[in-house]
Amino acid sequence: MKGRIVCCLYRIGRVGVALLFLALLGPAKADVLVPTAGTAGFVEVSGRANPDVVGGDMGVLGWFNGHLSAKGSLSFLASEPLDDFFTGVNISLQTQFPWRFSPYVGVGAFAGYSREDVRAENDDRDNDHDGYTDERGEEKSVVDNVTSSVYPELGLLLWIKDDVRLSLSGRYHISSEGREFDAWVYAVGFAVRM
């Protein structure tokens, strides 16, 4: 699994760098309108190697003004050190310049949980909904682990068109699991104005 995660992270990084390079080679569009209000949908993929972590987000981004924006998303995080696949939510605030190409800083938080199938042969319930209670081999899904993290974030934003934005970022996740699980996670994302 470790080899597949590292390969995936390498490909994500290559695609992000190639897209940024192509966008910067294009003509400088002074007419690109950087939003100061409204919303956008976004997707992001993130990861790192050693320890291996892969994540993703899909959600909504909104602007309060040209300098401050907020994101909320449904997220997943697969972590080798925690040996779990977490699903949850991610929220963050970013401050940036109202420019076509801008650095930004932000803060955010992730909260998620993982599930596990356990034996349920003696719980007086029909867990698999087949009309039989407590048959041999019956299982149920239970919450296995809960985790959360807060993070500072540094990144770059590039408006490719009036309604399409590319973002590259690094987040230092400070984990509820302890300092040995803290780690930098890198992300590439696309947002499209609605």
Q: What is the 3-state secondary structure (H, E, C) of the chain?
A: CHHHHHHHHHHHHHHHHHHHHHHHHCCCCCCCCCCCCEEEEEEEEEEECCCCEEEEEEEEEEECCCCEEEEEEEEEEEECCCCEEEEEEEEEEEEECCCCEEEEEEEEEEEEEEEEEEECCCCCCCCCCCCCCCCCCCEEEEEEEEEEEEEEEEEEEEEEECCEEEEEEEEEEEECCCHHHCEEEEEEEEEEEC
pLDDT above 70 covers what percent of the chain? 69
Looking at residue 30, its pLDDT comes to 46
pTM for this structure? Answer: 0.73
Q: How far apart are CA 89 and CA 87, in angstroms?
A: 7
- Which of 1-5, 26-30, 155-159 is the most confident on average? 155-159
Phi and psi, residue 59, nearest 5°: -170, -155
Q: What angle do CA 119, 123, 128 make, to 5 degrees?
A: 60
Flag whether pLDDT at 81 surpasses 80: no
Q: Do the beta carbons of residue 13 and residue 21 sit within 8 Å?
A: no
Q: How confident is the model at residue 118 (pLDDT cuts 50, 70, 90)?
A: low
Summarize pLDDT for 82-96 with one digit per residue, the tens.
678 899 999 999 999
pLDDT > 90 in the chain, percent: 43
Across 125-142, average pLDDT: 65
